[in-house]
Chain A
Amino acid sequence: MIASGTKNFTSLFSRYKVLSLLFVIAVIWLLFGWLTDGFFLSPRNFSNLLRQMAITGMLASAMVFVIISGEIDLSVGSLLGLLGGVAAILDVRYGVPVVANFLVVILLGLAAGLFNGWWVAFRGVPSFIVGLAGLMAYRGVLLGVTDGATIAPVSPGFVIIGQAYLPLLVGDILAGLAFLLIAFLILRSRQKRQQYNLDVPPLWQEVAKLVAIGIVIAGIVITLDDYRGIPIPVLVMMIILGVFTLLAQRTVFGRRIYAVGSNLEATRLSGVNVRMVKLMIFGLVGLMCAFAGLTTTARLAAGSPSAGNLGELDAIASCIIGGTSMRGGSGTVYGALIGALIMASLDNGMSMLGVETFWQMIVKGSILLLAVWVDIATSAKS
Chain B
Amino acid sequence: MSDYLLEMKGIVKEFSGVKALDGIDLKVHPGEVVGLCGENGAGKSTMMKVLSAVYPYGTWDGEILWEGKPLQAASIRETEDAGIVIIHQELMLVPELSVAENIFLGREITNGGFLDYEAMNAEAARLMAELKMSHVNVAMPVSHYSGGVLQLIEIAKALGKNAKLLILDEPSSALSQTETEILLDLIRGLKHRNVACVYISHKLEEIEAIADTVTVIRDGQFIGSAPMSELTIDKIINMMVGRELTEKYPHEEHTIGDVIFEVRHINCYDPLNPQMKKVDDVSFQVRAGEILGIAGLVGAGRTEMASAIFGYYKGPHSLEVYLNGEQISVKDPEAAVKHGICMVPEDRKRHGIVPLLGVGQNITMAVLPRFTQGGLINEAAEFATIRGEIDRMGIKTASPVLAIASLSGGNQQKAVVSKMLLANPRVLILDEPTRGVDVGAKYEIYKLIYELAKQGIAIIMISSEMPEVLGISDRVLVIGEGQLRGDFVNDGTLTQEKILTAALTRRQMAA
Contacts and interface: CB of A to CB of B under 8 A. Distances in A.
Interface of A: 189, 192-193, 195-196, 198-199, 246, 250-252, 255-256, 258-259, 261-263, 265-273, 329-330
B383 A196 contact: yes
A110 to B, nearest CB: 18
B355 interface: yes
Interface in B293-324: 310, 312
Nearest to A259: B354
Q: 7 smallest A-B Cβ distances: which pairs?
A: A271-B337, A262-B356, A329-B356, A192-B380, A270-B366, A263-B354, A270-B365
Given A259-B361, A271-B333, 12 more contacts: A192-B383, A252-B372, A255-B368, A256-B368, A262-B354, A263-B354, A266-B350, A267-B365, A269-B345, A269-B351, A270-B337, A271-B338
A250 B374 CA distance: 11
B182 interface: no
Contacts of A252: 368-369, 372, 377
Contacts of A258: 356-357
B343 interface: yes
A112 to B, nearest CB: 25
Contacts of B369: 252
B470 to A, nearest CB: 28
A246 B357 contact: no
A250 B355 contact: no
A267 B354 contact: yes
A interface majority secondary structure: helix
Given A269-B343, A270-B365, A271-B338, A250 B357 contact: no
Given A255-B377, A258-B356, A259-B365, A265 B351 contact: yes
Contacts of B345: 269
Contacts of B354: 259, 262-263, 266-267
B375 interface: yes
B419 interface: yes
B511 interface: no
B368 A273 contact: no
A375 to B, nearest CB: 15
A250 B376 CA distance: 5
22 contacts: A192-B379, A196-B384, A198-B383, A198-B399, A250-B379, A251-B372, A255-B377, A256-B368, A259-B357, A261-B356, A263-B354, A266-B351, A266-B353, A268-B312, A268-B332, A269-B343, A270-B365, A270-B419, A270-B420, A271-B333, A271-B334, A329-B356
Given A252-B369, A266-B350, A268-B333, A195 B338 contact: no
B352 interface: yes
A57 B215 CA distance: 59
A381 to B, nearest CB: 11
Contact of A273 (B334, B377, B384): B334
Contacts of B376: 246, 250-251
B387 interface: yes
B423 interface: yes
B336 interface: yes
Contacts of A269: 310, 312, 333, 343, 345, 351-352
